[in-house]
Amino acid sequence: MESSTSAKSAQVNIIEHPLIQHKLTLMRRAETSTAKFRALLHEVSMLLAYEVTRDLPIKLESINTPMTSMMAPVLAPDKKLVVVSIMRAGQGILDGILELMPSARVGHIGLYRDPSTLTVIEYYFKLPHDVGDRDMIVVDPMLATGNTAVAAVNRLRHAEPRSIKFLCLLAAPEGIQHFRDIHPDVPIYTAAIDEKLDSHGYILPGLGDAGDRLFGTK
C-alpha cells in the first residue's frame, strides 16, 4: 500500500490505495461541489491517517471476552499524538484524522502565502502544553512550493515534539525537494506527486486552491 519514491528520498511515502486514488480523482474534478469535496477530503484523510499511524506501537492488555480471557492488543498509552493543522486547509485533513483518533490532541498554526512574493506570514500559533511528550503529525492538503510546510515545521520544532511527520494529499516535486532539503529527517506522506508548479505556485494538474474548494470561498 505504501511505497517510497526512489527519485526523491526513502522518506517520501506515496499512499497508493485504490480508494484514496479514486477519491482524489473525484476531488480533482473542477465540477465537484464544495459539499462533495469536503466529504471526500474527510474520507481520504481517514484512509491517510490509517497509513500514517501504521507504526504506532501496541501493548498487550488482559481482557475478558464473553467467552474467555485473553491478552489483547491496544495502543501503547505513552505513545501520544498531536495533530497540527496548517490553517486553513489543514482543517479538512484534521477533521478526518480526529474521526479515527478522537483523543489525539490538536495544534493550529496559521500561515498564509503572500501572493506576490510567495513568502510565508504567520498569524496564529497554538499547541497543547505537553507537546514534548507527543509525536506530531503536521497536516496540510497541498505541498506546493514547500514554503508553508518548511516554515511550519521550522516553528514547530521549537516545541520539541518527540517526532514529526508531514501529511498532505497532493505534492509537487518542487515542494518535496525544498522540504527535504530543509527537513530531511521529517517523513512526508502523500496520496500523489503531481507534475509541477505553475508560475503562481499552484500544483499542476492539481485540484485548485484546496482552501477555496473546501470552504467554498471562490
**Hey, which residues are catalytic here?**
113, 117, 209, 212
Q: Minimum Å distance from CB 36 to ligand URA?
A: 17
Pairing outcome for strands 120-126 and 105-113? antiparallel
Own/partner pairs for 123-131, CB < 8 Å, 24+ apart?
Answer: 124/87, 125/155, 127/82, 127/84, 127/156, 127/159, 128/82, 130/80, 130/105, 131/82, 131/105, 131/107, 131/159, 131/160, 131/161
**Residue of minimal CB distance from ligand URA?**
144
Would you count residue 40 as binding ligand URA (CB under 6 A)? no
Residue number with CB closer to ligand URA (142 or 159): 142
At 13, the amino acid letter reads N
Q: Minimum Å distance from CB 87 to ligand URA?
A: 12
Would you count residue 203 as binding ligand URA (CB under 6 A)? yes
Q: Which of 218, 86, 79, 76 is nearest to 152 (CA)?
A: 86
Would you count residue 164 as binding ligand URA (CB under 6 A)? no
The count of chain residues that interact with ligand URA, using the rule CB under 6 A, is 10
Would you count residue 142 as binding ligand URA (CB under 6 A)? yes
Would you count residue 146 as binding ligand URA (CB under 6 A)? no
Q: Minimum Å distance from CB 177 to ligand URA?
A: 15
SS3 (DSSP) at 143: strand
- Report the residue from 83, 144, 153, 169 that binds ligand URA according to the rule CB under 6 A: 144
Cα(212)–Cα(151) distance, rounded to whole angstroms? 21
Degrees to nearest 5, angle at CA 138 with 176 and 94: 120
Would you count residue 15 as binding ligand URA (CB under 6 A)? no
Would you count residue 193 as binding ligand URA (CB under 6 A)? no
Cα(215)–Cα(35) distance, rounded to whole angstroms? 9
Would you count residue 96 as binding ligand URA (CB under 6 A)? no
Given a contact cutoff of 8 angstroms between Cβ atoms, the answer to whether 201 and 182 are in contact is: no
Would you count residue 206 as binding ligand URA (CB under 6 A)? yes
What residues make contact with ligand URA under the rule CB under 6 A? 89, 142, 144, 201-203, 206, 209-211
